C-alpha cells in the first residue's frame, strides 16, 4: 500500500511541476529544510493524492491514522471515483444513477453510493445468501410490481387500480399510496386465476430531468369478463416525480395523470408492453382473432380519451407474430423477442388504423429490418427471458436466455442500416446453463437470477467479451430454497444489489398473506462499516 501512495504522490508532484514555474537556485545554497511527513502536507494536496488511488486503497489509507481518515472523507475523492460511472461507456451502460443533482450529494452520500455498488458485486459473487432479508406486506393483493432503476423505489399495482410504493432504503418499510383505488374490487373471496385483472407496468425514465422523474404506463385487463368499470379494461399513463423536503432530499413519490384510453372488450390480456416518449407498444391477446396475438404502436397522447377509435399501427410480420418481449428503441424502432428469433422494425413505415383488424386478418403489415433466427430460443420463452435495453455510448444491448445459453445482443447505435452491415450482432455471455424447470427469471447486464422450481435459486455472473478489466466469471451460483410459485417477478437492481421476490401464489391462495421479500446482496448497508 505504501508503494501505491508513493506512486500517487509522484503523480501529483509531476502534475504540480507542470503548473508551477521552475525556480532558479542562487549560487549559495541555503540549508535544506527538514523533511515533511505525509500527514503534514496541506489537506488539498493530500486529497489530490488520494484522488489517484483505487477505492480499496482509499479505504486502507483510512485505517492509517485519524488525520488521513479525515482526508479520505473529502468529497472530491469520492466524486472522482463516482464520476466515470455516471455516464455509459462504449461497452457498458451507466452504472450509477442519481435521483437529485450531483451538487446536492454530500461526501458521505457519494461514498455510500459507490461502496454499496462495489460491495453488491462482492456479495453477489461470494455469498450463497443475501446479506439481509426483509419482508413487506401490501394492503391489496399485488398484480404487478416494478423496481425503479437505482433500487430504492418499488411500485405495486393491484386489482382495484391502486398504485402504491415502498422506499426500500428506509429503515422501516411502509406502503405509501401513489394512486388510490380507482374501481371496486373485482375478485371474490375464492378467486379464479382466469378471472383476475391482469396488470402490466412499464417505465420510461426522463433522463433530461435533474431530479428523478419518469412516465409510468399501467395496463388493466379483465379478459372475457365485462368489467363493471371501464377503467378496469384500459391503459393509463402517469407522470411520477420525486417528492422533496425543504433540504431538497427525496422523501417520497408523487403522481400526475397524463392520459388514459380504453381497450376493446375482445382483448383478453396484455402480454407485454414498452413505453418510450410519446409511444406505447402493446402486445395483446384477442382470442376471437385467427392470429390472436396482436402488437400495436400507439401514440398515448393522441389516444387519450374514452373511445377506442384512436390511431394505432399494427406490427404484424410474416413470422414472429407472437413476441414474448417487446422494447421500443430510439428513432422509431421496435425490438421483439419471439420463438422465431429476434427482430427489429421501423414502425413508422406502417400505415395507421383506428381499430383492431378483422378477426380473419393474417396478412403481414411489415418486414423486419433485421432478423436473427439461429439463437436456439427456448420453448419456455417468456417476457422475463429478455433483459431491458442497456444503452451504451455507441450501442444498445440486451441479455437473452436461450435453451442452455445466455446470449448478448449488440445493436450499434446510430444504426447500421446499409445493405452490407447488419443492424445487430450477438455474442455468448454464458454457456451450459444447466438449470432445469425454469420458472421465473430476471436478466440484468452482468447478473441474473432464476427461480427453478423445487431445485432452488440460481444467481448468475456473466461478463461481456468486449468489457475491459471485467473480472466477473461466467458462473452459476446455486442457492437452495423452497419451491416458489410466482405470478410474476423476481426483480433485480444491479446498482444496489437488491432483489425483490413477490408473494408465493400458492401461499397467498391458502393464507391470503400478501408478503414480498427484499434481498440485499450488497455487503454495505446504511450505517455499516465500509468493506475492503
Whether pLDDT at 327 is above 90: yes
Helix, strand, or coil (residue 214) = strand
pLDDT band per the 50, 70, 90 thresholds, residue 303: very high
Cα–Cα distances in angstroms (integers) from residue 19 to residues 33, 43, 358, in the given order: 23, 19, 75
Q: How far apart are CA 220 and CA 257, in angstroms?
A: 15
Residue 268 counted as domain residue: yes
Residues of the chain with pLDDT > 70, as a percent, come to 82
Residue 106 counted as domain residue: no
pLDDT digits (tens, 9 = 90+) for 93-135: 999 999 999 999 999 999 999 999 999 988 888 767 889 999 9
The range of the structural domain enclosing residue 153 comes to 121-520
Helix-strand-coil split of the chain, %, nearest 5: 20, 35, 50
Q: What is the mean pLDDT of the chain?
A: 86
Question: Taking residues 512-519, what's their average pLDDT?
Answer: 79
Residue 240 counted as domain residue: yes
Quick one: which of 233, 355, 199, 341 has its CA closest to 289? 355
Ranking 29-38, 328-337, 351-360 by mean pLDDT, the lowest is 29-38
pLDDT band per the 50, 70, 90 thresholds, residue 335: very high
pLDDT band per the 50, 70, 90 thresholds, residue 180: very high
pLDDT digits (tens, 9 = 90+) for 49-83: 999 999 999 999 999 888 889 999 999 999 999 99
Question: Taking residues 333-342, what's their average pLDDT?
Answer: 92
Q: How far apart are CA 5 and CA 11, in angstroms?
A: 10
* pLDDT (0 to 100) of residue 364: 95
Whether pLDDT at 478 is above 70: no
Q: How far apart are CA 59 and CA 53, in angstroms?
A: 10
Residues of the chain with pLDDT > 90, as a percent, come to 60
Q: Which residue has the higher pLDDT, 364 or 479?
A: 364
Domain count, the chain: 1
Whether pLDDT at 505 is above 70: no
Residue 21 counted as domain residue: no
pLDDT band per the 50, 70, 90 thresholds, residue 329: very high
Other beta carbons less than 10 A from residue 87's beta carbon: 11
CATH number assigned to the domain comprising residue 336: 2.130.10
Residue 13 counted as domain residue: no
Residue 72 counted as domain residue: no
Q: How far apart are CA 475 and CA 61, in angstroms?
A: 33
Dihedral sign from CA coordinates of 53, 54, 59, 61: negative
Residue 55 counted as domain residue: no
Q: How far apart are CA 193 and CA 163, in angstroms?
A: 20
Question: Taking residues 393-421, what's their average pLDDT?
Answer: 89
Q: How far apart are CA 453 and CA 356, in angstroms?
A: 38
Residue 446 counted as domain residue: yes
Query: Secondary structure of 367-419 in the HEC alphabet?
Result: CCCEEECCCCCCCCCCHHHECCCEECCCEEEEEEECCCCEEEEEEECCCCCCC
**148 contact partners, CB below 8 Å, separation of at least 6:** 154, 155, 203, 212, 214
Amino acid at each position: 500500500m505504501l508503494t501505491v501512495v508513493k506512486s500517487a504522490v509522484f503523480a501529483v508532484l509531476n502534475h504540480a511541476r507542470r503548473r508551477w514555474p521552475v525556480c532558479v537556485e542562487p549560487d549559495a545554497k541555503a540549508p535544506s529544510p527538514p523533511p515533511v511527513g505525509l500527514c503534514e502536507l496541506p489537506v488539498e494536496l493530500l486529497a489530490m493524492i488520494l484522488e489517484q488511488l483505487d477505492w480499496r486503497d482509499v479505504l486502507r489509507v483510512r485505517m492509517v491514522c485519524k488525520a488521513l481518515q479525515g482526508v479520505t472523507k473529502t468529497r472530491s475523492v469520492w466524486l472522482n471515483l463516482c464520476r466515470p460511472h455516471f455516464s455509459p461507456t462504449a461497452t457498458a451502460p451507466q452504472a450509477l444513477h442519481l435521483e437529485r443533482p450531483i451538487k446536492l450529494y454530500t461526501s458521505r452520500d457519494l461514498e455510500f453510493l459507490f461502496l454499496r455498488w462495489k460491495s453488491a458485486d462482492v456479495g453477489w459473487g461470494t455469498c450463497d445468501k443475501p446479506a439481509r432479508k426483509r419482508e413487506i406486506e401490501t394492503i391489496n393483493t399485488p398484480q404487478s410490481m416494478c423496481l425503479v432503476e437505482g433500487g430504492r423505489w418499488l411500485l405495486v399495482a393491484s386489482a382495484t387500480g391502486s398504485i402504491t410504493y415502498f422506499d426500500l432504503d428506509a429503515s422501516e418499510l411502509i406502503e405509501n399510496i401513489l394512486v388510490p383505488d380507482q374501481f371496486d374490487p373485482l375478485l371474490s373471496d375464492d378467486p379464479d386465476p382466469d378471472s383476475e385483472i391482469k396488470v402490466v407496468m412499464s417505465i420510461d425514465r426522463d433522463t433530461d430531468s435533474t431530479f428523478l422523474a419518469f412516465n409510468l404506463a399501467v395496463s388493466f385487463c379483465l379478459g372475457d369478463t365485462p368489467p363493471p368499470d371501464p377503467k378496469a379494461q384500459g391503459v393509463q399513463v402517469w407522470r411520477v416525480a420525486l417528492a422533496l423536503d425543504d433540504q431538497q432530499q427525496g422523501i417520497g413519490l408523487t403522481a400526475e395523470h397524463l392520459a388514459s384510453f380504453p381497450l376493446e372488450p375482445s382483448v383478453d390480456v396484455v402480454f407485454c408492453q414498452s413505453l418510450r416518449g410519446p409511444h406505447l407498444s402493446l402486445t395483446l391477446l384477442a382470442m376471437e382473432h385467427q392470429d390472436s396475438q396482436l402488437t400495436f404502436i400507439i401514440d398515448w397522447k393522441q389516444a387519450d380519451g374514452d373511445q377506442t377509435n384512436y390511431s394505432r399501427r399494427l406490427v404484424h410480420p410474416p413470422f414472429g407474430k407472437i413476441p414474448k418481449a417487446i422494447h421500443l428503441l430510439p428513432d422509431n424502432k421496435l425490438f421483439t423477442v419471439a420463438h422465431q428469433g429476434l427482430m427489429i422494425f421501423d414502425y413508422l413505415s406502417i400505415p395507421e388504423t383506428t381499430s383492431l383488424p378483422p378477426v380473419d386478418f393474417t396478412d403481414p403489415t411489415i418486414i423486419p429490418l433485421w432478423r436473427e433466427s439461429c439463437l436456439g430460443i427456448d420453448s419456455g420463452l417468456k417476457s422475463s427471458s429478455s433483459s431491458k435495453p442497456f444503452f451504451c455510448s455507441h450501442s444498445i444491448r440486451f441479455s437473452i436466455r436461450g435453451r442452455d445459453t445466455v446470449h448478448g445482443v449488440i445493436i450499434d447505435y446510430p444504426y447500421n442500416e446499409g445493405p452490407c452491415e447488419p443492424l445487430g450482432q450477438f455474442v455468448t455471455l454464458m454457456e451450459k446453463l444447466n438449470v432445469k424447470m425454469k420458472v421465473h427469471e430476471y436478466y440484468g447486464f452482468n447478473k441474473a437470477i432464476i427461480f427453478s422450481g423445487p431445485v432452488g435459486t440460481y444467481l448468475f455472473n456473466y461478463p461481456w467479451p468486449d468489457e475491459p478489466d471485467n473480472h466477473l466469471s461466467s458462473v452459476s451460483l446455486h442457492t437452495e430454497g423452497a419451491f416458489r410459485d410466482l405470478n410474476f417477478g423476481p426483480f433485480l437492481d444491479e446498482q444496489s444489489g437488491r432483489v425483490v421476490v413477490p408473494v408465493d401464489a400458492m401461499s397467498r391462495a391458502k393464507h391470503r398473506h400478501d408478503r414480498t421479500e427484499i434481498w440485499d446482496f450488497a455487503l454495505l448497508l446504511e450505517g455499516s462499516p465500509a468493506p475492503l
